[in-house]
Amino acid sequence: MGAEHTRDLERLAVRARAGLVREIDHSGAWDEDPVWREAFAEVPRHLFVPYYFVGVPGGYERLWGEHPDPKRRERWLRGAYADEPLATRLRDGELVSSSSQPSLMARMLVGLRVRDGDRVLEIGAGTGYNAALLAHRVGAGNVTSVDLDPEVAESARAHLAAAGHPTTVVTGDGARGWPERAPYDRIMATCALRAVPGEWLGQCAPRGRILAPLSTGIVALDVAEDGQRAQGRFLHTSAYFMALRGGVGREPEPSLSGLPHPVLRDELFRFLLTLTSGRREPRDVLELWEREGRPERERFGVTVRGDGRQWAWLDDPEGPHTWELPGTP
């Protein structure tokens, strides 16, 4: 690659990153905490996705930054700054790792409500980009990222070092957290769960916060003063992540047989159906959803107790509409 073309790519990267920041601006993702704008403006996403895959008929096409064709390199770089998720690792034709949609990442980071100097545990290292954004805000020494796949962890570690954010990236079962560096002020998962692992509550400091994808939403739990309870509601946004491997991953898809076709296209109903899968019959779920006025995500919440019990609820954690989550006694 010639020096002039390298400089051209660097200039293109600056313009593309500015364009991504403007797009997230327009989405309103960080309206409640605009400090995150600086992190997205400063952290170069393309360093974390030296290659990625785009869907084509019959499979995937690989784009990478070292392609001999200059046009292909430019296509790779522009795609790296699109406000879209990027498939970054395939195994036997199946996606095993990705870089999430940046505007969704921004909404989750805002929902985490970090403060300067907070100690943060990230479950699911991915490319390392999310950890770099966190490190920009709270300092690289305050971020720990854990991933079950040693190749994913090693790749994220290398990307973070190259980008100047040498955070701690470890290989392990994220469902067990990482007690060696606990307690954490914030715990953030970037993979889908069926329930919140009890170990996380034990590793989160009193008055800390746990944020994780659950069903097709994102729940934000505030840890009580005594550390024995965490409770909170879902954010407004939808979210679709790969399941946590090695622990309480995504719930199996619920049966949709016998339900009317129009309701199956309603994203909010699918959220509730997945949240209650295995605890309520689909038709009962539909009856509840319609009777309660087709509730938005923010009306739902989750409570986790130190004794291992946890449940999801509508409107009131002690009200009539509650569902035990998997793995509880």
Residue that has been written with the tokens 């409500």 in this structure = 113
Residue 97 known to be catalytic: yes
Q: Both tokens of residue 266?
A: 């309603």
Sequence-separated contacts (24+) of 115-118 with Cβ below 8 Å: 115/185, 117/142, 118/142, 118/185, 118/186
CA pair distance 286, 40, nearest whole angstrom: 40
Peptide bond into 183 cis (omega under 30): yes
Distance of CA 284 to the CA centre of its chain: 30
Query: Sheet containing 168-171: which strands, arranged edge to edge?
Result: 168-171, 143-147, 120-123, 184-189, 204-214, 217-223, 229-233, 300-305, 310-314, 322-324
Do residues 267 and 205 lie in contact, with contact meaning Cβ atoms separated by under 8 Å? Answer: no
| Set 27, 97, 99, 277: catalytic member | 97
The one-character DSSP state at 324 is E
Whole-number Cα distances in Å, 100 to 45, 83, 106, 192, 224: 11, 9, 10, 12, 30
Catalytic residues: 97
